Amino acid sequence: MVAKPKSRCCCCTWLIGIIVLIAVILAVVLTFRHRSNHSGDDQPGSIDKKYADALKIAMQFFDIQKSGKLENNKISWRGDSGLKDGSEASIDLSKGLYDAGDHMKFGFPMAFTATVLSWSILEYGDQMASVNLLDHAKDSLKWTTDFLINAHPSPNVLYIQVGNPETDHKCWDRPETMSRNRTLTKIDTETPGTEVAAETAAAMAAASLVFKESDTKYSSTLLKHAKQLFDFADDNRGSYSVSIPKVQPYYNSTGYGDELLWASSWLYHATEDKTYLDFVSKNGEEFGNFGSPSWFSWDNKLPGTHILLSRLTFFKKELSDSKGLQGYKDTAEAVMCGLIPSSPTATSSRTDGGLIWVSEWNALQHPVSSAFLATLYSDYMLTSGIKELSCDDQSFKSSDLRKFARSQADYMLGKNPEKMSYLVGYGEKYPEFVHHRGASIPADANTGCKDGFKWLNSEEPNPNVAYGALVGGPFLNDTFIDARNNSMQNEPSTYNSALVVGLLSSLVTTSSSIESFI
């Protein structure tokens, strides 16, 4: 008896099902391998509750620093403020973020905040999503870039400051009740400010990648502004610290070459337009400071640029041997070697407690930024299958960089001689006298400009907890004085928060890197 065709079809169906199942399994495995470690170190694991909890707290400081008409406000002691900012020039500058414990909006560090927060989302957005914080991060970023867009009303004009710091610092009041004149400061072709224009271009370019899929129109708007601002910065070279001397006591710039390289690097990542890659290749010798590791900060973008461009040599085979990028890659390696404590070229700029320490003012900026860069480089190594980093005659693994990053994060969160968490709201002991006007004044207080100083001088802890604020940090001898008038150690800054969010996001679980932002 001849077998029925139906029987053969059943076998075919069964066989096809097996093949499809195998294909699905292979796809999952390949996807997993793409996002995980090829070398065997730091395989992806479960959520690290310590860092996840700290990240949830750190993200709140962006909400505390918001200016403008607040939406979905979850900070009980914050309300609408700065609603008329920009009216002097008939533009809306009500949004954005207050810089620190005062009510100033400084465009230079605010743009840096947006760039770093964008970078953090691009690299570790999946980590943020795993603890339901990705939307929060994107909302905080957009609140900032909305301000930056409005601050750039025409191609060669950028408003870089809202408020007069001398006037502002003579008051101690809540942002909701301030009534003084909010003067504006701008740069243009006659008053150049290359570093501010370029940093804002970097912020716009990086943010355009963040919103590329979720809001294509907004992404295109950001990229248009980024291109215009880069051209403005490059075509009208001059430091804003020279053009506008009054900025020097607050955010004095040490040069604009690093911002030009930084902005061009981000524009290349956002567009893959070779013009921007050619710029960093041609200008590296002049501005790149090759072979001389330095510290990543709001003023110095070189270490970040070195790491960001080394990303290309890891993931773009056609660029891996590029002579124009070699100086950046070599210097990125030197930066990394300087951070690993057992490296023969390790920096001696550390406290006895193991914290990278460079400056008395805002001491935690450098260890947090260094740790953030270390996790990035570690993940680049993991994803590309590079097993070792050579530091003179010794070799180190990606896990050594991650260990360093965790050491800085742990110090910040309380593993230090003071047993103090410098992230406000985290742990059992953290600063209670943070130098922050809004946190120090009761929300129902009827306080003017001058009489509010009684709250600065009060011996009582702040009535409002500035959750997520990263204070300045310890002295070189690992000591810390929790006093409200100790602004050197106890004042938080918004740009520090962006770095903290990046670092903590990278540590939420072991990770790898996506190979392209586009």
Strands 105-106 and 158-162: antiparallel
DSSP 66-107: B-BS-SS---TT---B-TTTTGGGTS----SB--SSSS-EEH
Number of C-beta neighbours around residue 245 at 10 A: 10
Phi-psi region of 272 (alpha: psi -120 to 50; beta: other; left: phi over 0): left
Rounded Cα gap, residues 206 and 270, in angstroms: 7
Q: Tell me how long the chain is.
A: 518
Q: Quick one: CA torsion of 166, 171, 173, 175, rounded to 10 degrees? A: -20
DSSP, res 461: P
Catalytic residue list contains 435: yes
Distance CA 304, CA 116 (A): 9
Residues sharing a CB contact under 8 Å with residue 267, sequence separation 6 or more, in sequence order? 201, 202, 205, 226, 227, 230, 273, 276
Of the candidates 136, 306, 366, 435, the residue annotated as catalytic is 435
CA Rg, the chain, in Å?
24
Q: Please say whether the beta carbons of 366 and 293 come within 8 A.
A: no
Residue that has been written with the tokens 């408003």 in this structure: 159
At position 400, the amino acid (one-letter code) is D
* Element at 336 (helix H, strand E): helix 323-339
Strands (E), 98-194: 105-106, 158-162, 184-187
The 3-state DSSP composition of the chain as helix, strand, coil percent (nearest 5) reads 50, 5, 45
241 contact partners, CB below 8 Å, separation of at least 6: 247, 248, 252, 253
Q: How far apart are CA 412 and CA 273, in angstroms?
A: 40
Please list the active-site residues. Answer: 435
